[in-house]
């Protein structure tokens, strides 16, 4: 601190008081803005706080440094180091305090005058005050004064006091308790909190030295340039920061030979370096004429190990009071991360450093973040009535738990496993169900390879290959009136209708079963429109009537039925005119398209085809009936592209599980993130081209990772099994082999099928030794396998895993036993003892040490994955 630039000191015990010292000492109290007594003359420090000047002390000129008495009593006692080396005790606003009175005004005078650079109270023995002085050729640079020492007349002859200019010589002390550091200057010093008898000095001769007052002739020291402002980390008593010009060095007192690390050098000389007293490992530095306080967060380096490890430090700058230059700052002693900053013109600013936020997602949608000492958790609201849709991760997790995707017999049930409330998934699984049905029926009935691929390929490809279309003009059912509506038929169109679910297999086009099923489900409007599209107005009217009279039926359906019964094909009729305009006001899409169909010109059914609220399968079926060979592929192409763009799973009906289907699924995953559905769906695609698509592999891998992250290891295994059934190429190859200690060959039977081992094994295999021994001995050299440390039986490999071997080797009762995990080999990588997995697991349930006597290896504790528990139990 120099005389002109103000410095700032917090009271060690009053969290609301601080002192600004420049040419005089000013005591301030900080308080909230607007508190009663703070009104008059309060200086605003921030939006919430203001400071009130309590007292000014200008008794001590030539101040160089100030230190606040660390104990509660007497409060507000300050030691002031002056330019001539004297240390004066003074006080602020405490005139009534008797104990203080005794001390205030006491002076400690060095033999030879020179500047006092630094002061430090001993944290334990608070009578001790260390003063660091500039160098004098014949004097010590560190003087430790005892403030309670009485004036001793023999120490200072009266005539020698002529220069002290102090009438009350009783207040002058000239005999220090200790003197240290001859012929050197002390620029900075601090007491070591671990041992209050020890003092760390930074001297002029470029060294840092630790003195022990119990034996002052010995010191530990290190040569360094960084000798200004030594300060001990309050949270880590062996960590010390010291600086020199623009550089800060961090020391570990236990390895004092060289700095643990140095911080990036600042272009301007540093003026203050201070550890945050409320936050571990946070160091603030200030350079001259700067408006930025740099903060170094050393959270990640509490104990640096080894010489070369460079600990991670996060550096950032804070600008507490916009553009104005900072003269000094002081951390608040108790409020976290708070500081008061003072500018050269004494403008002050109360400032809280905002804590870095570290954030972590859990694998189960909860979010946590830490800010300062607070930990916040944000979890998804699981309330049933929650309006917000659940996150896809939560959905997938729940679906994984309900075994979604695993129903391979009734594919449509998977949408129920998924919760049954997602229309997209419902449509998808029904589509896949029908695709699969067609596929299997095809296989059974025709055994013709040429059409199989088409069926999984979706309607788009089916209609493309359409040929031999016949055009018919049918009459309205139950009337002789011919219609001018052309209908088209072909084998492929029928197939498409089947896939859409309108008709069942067979040569006839009979929608009656479909209509009945729709009626059963109460989808009256849809049933009516399907009936209408099959030119059966009477049936449609009948359905509507039924719908109106059904439980909770909509009576409006009767009105619609009435309107429908008035149908006339007269082009200019009032009916037609009114229907075509009023149909737009109908809320139900199926009712709307019914009238659109009736009022549209033959061959142009855009109002039906592009009514997006109508299910894709119905629109496609409609298109297959009423569009000619030119219009149909164009319409299907357009619809397919729309579906792909929107990522609408209904489009799978069109694309099938082809490349197109992957494109569609890609945009679905992009939109929803639902890799689960994508994985299960595409695995059914089974053509190599589809499953090998990198996107599909990516979804599958991501889904497996998700299951791992949720610790759904059983689900993962199930998924892998499911996957390998549908995609045999995904079966993982054996990666770990157990080799025989004697011959070095793999002992697993499956490996013995490999050519290089085959000969040796078959040679021994027929040599007629008992089957039992083969299981527990090496198939290569017949030597016994190691024994289990617990049951002392030789371990063995399950024979069942040896496919294609002669039957005599299969020991059936053992087979089942061996196939279980309990009989697997397991051993500790550390002590190399092991045994049957089941035995080992049960042993370590009750013990921590290895079962082999005299082995103290804590095998299970070394196994980090052994401690993880799956979150899904089967």
Binding site for other proteins (CB under 8 A): 2-4, 61-62, 83-85, 109-115, 134-140, 156, 160-165, 174, 178-185, 205-207, 209, 211, 216-217, 219, 223, 225
Nearer to other proteins, 175 or 833 (CB): 175
Quote the least distance from Cβ 142 to other proteins, whole Å. 9
Quote the least distance from Cβ 55 to other proteins, whole Å. 25
Q: Answer yes or no: are the C-beta atoms of 128 and 71 closer than 8 Å.
A: no
Nearer to other proteins, 61 or 317 (CB): 61
- Give the integer Cα–Cα distance in Å for 26 and 637: 84
Quote the least distance from Cβ 863 to other proteins, whole Å. 51
The Cα-based distances of 283 to 68, 120, 187, 313 in angstroms read 21, 20, 20, 10
Quote the least distance from Cβ 294 to other proteins, whole Å. 23
- Give the integer Cα–Cα distance in Å for 744 and 417: 49
Q: Answer yes or no: are the C-beta atoms of 346 and 6 closer than 8 Å.
A: yes
Quote the least distance from Cβ 139 to other proteins, whole Å. 7
Nearer to other proteins, 112 or 538 (CB): 112
**What does the DSSP assignment read for 631-662?**
HHHHHHHHHHHHHHHHT-GGGHHHH-SSHHHH
Quote the least distance from Cβ 25 to other proteins, whole Å. 18
Q: Can you read off the two tokens belonging to residue 495?
A: 């197939």
Quote the least distance from Cβ 113 to other proteins, whole Å. 3
- Give the integer Cα–Cα distance in Å for 52 and 26: 10
Q: Can you read off the two tokens belonging to residue 772?
A: 């039992």
The Cα-based distances of 219 to 34, 178, 222, 562 in angstroms read 54, 14, 10, 110
Quote the least distance from Cβ 242 to other proteins, whole Å. 15
Quote the least distance from Cβ 115 to other proteins, whole Å. 6
Q: How many CB atoms lie within 10 A of CB 409?
A: 6
Q: Answer yes or no: are the C-beta atoms of 602 and 486 closer than 8 Å.
A: yes
Nearer to other proteins, 139 or 618 (CB): 139
Strand (E) or helix (H) holding 531: helix 524-533
The Cα-based distances of 534 to 431, 475, 540, 601 in angstroms read 22, 10, 9, 17
DSSP label at residue 252 = E
Nearer to other proteins, 35 or 182 (CB): 182
Nearer to other proteins, 96 or 137 (CB): 137
Nearer to other proteins, 186 or 675 (CB): 186
Nearer to other proteins, 64 or 460 (CB): 64
Quote the least distance from Cβ 34 to other proteins, whole Å. 41
Quote the least distance from Cβ 162 to other proteins, whole Å. 6
Nearer to other proteins, 163 or 736 (CB): 163
Buried-state track 549-580, b at ≥16 Cβ within 10 A, e below 16: eeeebeeebbebbebbeebeeeeeeeebeebe
Q: Which residue in the block uniquely carries the two structure tokens 């002739």?
A: 217
Q: Can you read off the two tokens belonging to residue 100?
A: 């203080």
The Cα-based distances of 514 to 431, 437, 530 in angstroms read 15, 16, 9
Nearer to other proteins, 110 or 320 (CB): 110
Nearer to other proteins, 182 or 771 (CB): 182
Q: Where are the alpha helices (DSSP H) in 673-787?
A: 675-683, 688-691, 694-709, 713-726, 749-752, 755-765, 771-775
Q: Can you read off the two tokens belonging to residue 517?
A: 């099923």
Quote the least distance from Cβ 3 to other proteins, whole Å. 6
Q: Answer yes or no: are the C-beta atoms of 231 and 242 closer than 8 Å.
A: yes
- Give the integer Cα–Cα distance in Å for 835 and 858: 15
Nearer to other proteins, 243 or 844 (CB): 243
Residues for the chain: how many in total? 874
């Amino acid at each position: 601190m120099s005389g002109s630039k103000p410095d700032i000191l917090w009271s060690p015990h009053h969290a609301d008081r601080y002192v600004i010292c420049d040419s005089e000492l000013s005591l301030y109290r900080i308080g909230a803005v607007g508190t009663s007594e703070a009104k008059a003359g309060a200086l605003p420090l921030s939006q919430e706080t203001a400071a009130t000047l309590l007292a000014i002390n200008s008794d001590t000129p030539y101040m160089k440094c100030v230190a606040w008495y660390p104990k509660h009593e007497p409060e507000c006692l300050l030691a002031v180091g002056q330019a001539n080396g004297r240390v004066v005790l003074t006080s602020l606003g405490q005139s009534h305090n008797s104990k203080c009175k005794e001390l205030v005004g006491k002076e400690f005078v060095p033999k030879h005058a020179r500047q006092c650079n630094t002061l430090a109270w001993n944290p334990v023995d608070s009578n001790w005050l260390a003063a660091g002085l500039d160098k004098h050729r014949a004097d010590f640079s560190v003087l430790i004064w005892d403030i309670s020492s009485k004036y001793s007349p023999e120490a200072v002859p009266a005539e020698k006091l002529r220069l002290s200019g102090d009438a009350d010589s009783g207040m002058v002390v000239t005999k220090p308790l200790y003197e240290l550091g001859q012929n050197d200057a002390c620029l900075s010093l601090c007491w070591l909190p671990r041992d209050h008898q020890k003092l760390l000095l930074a001297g002029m001769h470029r060294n840092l030295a630790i003195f022990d007052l119990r034996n002052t002739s010995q010191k530990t020291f290190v040569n360094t340039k960084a000798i200004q402002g030594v300060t001990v980390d309050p949270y880590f008593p062996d960590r010390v920061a010291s600086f020199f010009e623009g550089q800060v060095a961090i020391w570990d007192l236990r390895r004092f030979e060289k700095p643990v690390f140095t911080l990036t050098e600042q272009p301007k000389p540093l003026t203050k370096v201070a550890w945050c007293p409320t936050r571990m490992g946070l160091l603030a530095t200030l350079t001259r004429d700067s408006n930025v306080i740099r903060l170094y967060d050393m959270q990640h380096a509490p104990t640096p190990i080894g010489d070369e490890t460079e600990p991670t430090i996060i550096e950032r700058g804070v600008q507490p009071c916009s553009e104005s230059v900072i003269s000094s700052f002081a951390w608040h002693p108790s409020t976290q991360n708070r500081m008061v900053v003072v500018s050269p013109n004494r403008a002050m600013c109360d400032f809280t450093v905002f804590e870095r936020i570290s954030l972590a997602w859990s694998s189960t949608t909860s979010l946590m973040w830490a800010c300062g000492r607070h930990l916040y958790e944000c979890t998804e609201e699981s309330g049933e009535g929650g309006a917000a849709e659940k996150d896809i991760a939560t959905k997938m997790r729940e679906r994984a738990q309900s075994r979604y995707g695993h129903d391979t017999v009734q594919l449509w049930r998977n949408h129920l496993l998924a919760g049954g409330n997602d229309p997209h998934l419902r449509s998808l699984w029904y589509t896949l169900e029908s695709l699969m049905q067609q596929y299997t029926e095809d296989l059974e009935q025709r055994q013709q390879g040429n059409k199989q691929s088409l069926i999984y390929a979706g309607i788009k490809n089916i209609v493309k290959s359409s040929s031999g279309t016949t055009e018919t003009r049918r009459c309205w059912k139950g009337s002789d009136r011919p219609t001018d509506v052309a209908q088209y038929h072909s084998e492929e169109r029928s197939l498409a209708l089947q896939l859409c679910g309108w008709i069942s297999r067979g040569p006839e086009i009979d929608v009656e079963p479909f209509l009945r099923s729709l009626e059963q489900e109460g989808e009256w409007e849809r049933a009516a429109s399907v009936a209408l599209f099959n030119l059966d107005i009477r049936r449609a009217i009948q359905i509507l009537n039924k719908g109106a009279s059904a439980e909770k039926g909509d009576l409006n359906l009767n009105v619609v039925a009435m309107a429908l019964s008035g149908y006339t094909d007269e082009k200019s009729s009032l009916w037609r005119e009114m229907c075509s305009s009023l149909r737009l006001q109908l809320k139900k899409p199926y009712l709307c398209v019914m009238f659109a169909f009736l009022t549209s010109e033959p061959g142009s059914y855009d109002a039906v085809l592009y009514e997006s609220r109508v299910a894709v399968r119905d629109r496609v079926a409609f298109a297959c009936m009423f569009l000619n060979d030119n219009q149909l592929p164009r319409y299907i192409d357009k619809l397919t592209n729309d579906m792909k763009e929107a990522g609408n799973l209904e489009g799978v009906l069109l694309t099938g599980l082809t490349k197109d289907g992957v494109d569609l699924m890609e945009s679905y995953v992009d939109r929803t993130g639902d890799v689960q559905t994508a994985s299960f769906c595409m695995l059914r695609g089974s053509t190599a081209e589809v499953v090998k698509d990198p996107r599909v592999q990516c979804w599958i891998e991501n889904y497996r990772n998700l299951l791992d992250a949720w610790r759904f290891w059983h689900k993962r295994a199930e998924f892998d099994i499911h996957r390998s059934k549908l995609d045999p190429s995904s079966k993982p190859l054996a990666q770990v082999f157990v080799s025989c200690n004697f011959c070095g060959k793999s002992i697993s039977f499956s490996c013995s099928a490999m050519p290089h081992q085959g000969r040796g094994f078959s040679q021994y295999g027929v040599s007629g030794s008992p089957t039992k021994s083969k299981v527990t001995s090496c198939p290569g050299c017949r030597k016994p396998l190691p024994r289990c440390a617990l049951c002392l039986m030789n371990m063995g490999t399950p024979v069942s895993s040896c496919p294609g071997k002669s039957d005599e080797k299969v020991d059936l009762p053992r087979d089942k036993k061996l196939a279980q995990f309990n009989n697997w080999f397991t051993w500790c990588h550390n002590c190399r003892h092991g045994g049957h997995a089941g035995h080992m697991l049960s042993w370590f349930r009750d013990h921590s040490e290895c079962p082999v006597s005299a082995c103290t290896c804590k095998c299970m504790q070394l196994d980090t994955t052994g401690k993880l528990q799956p979150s899904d139990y089967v």
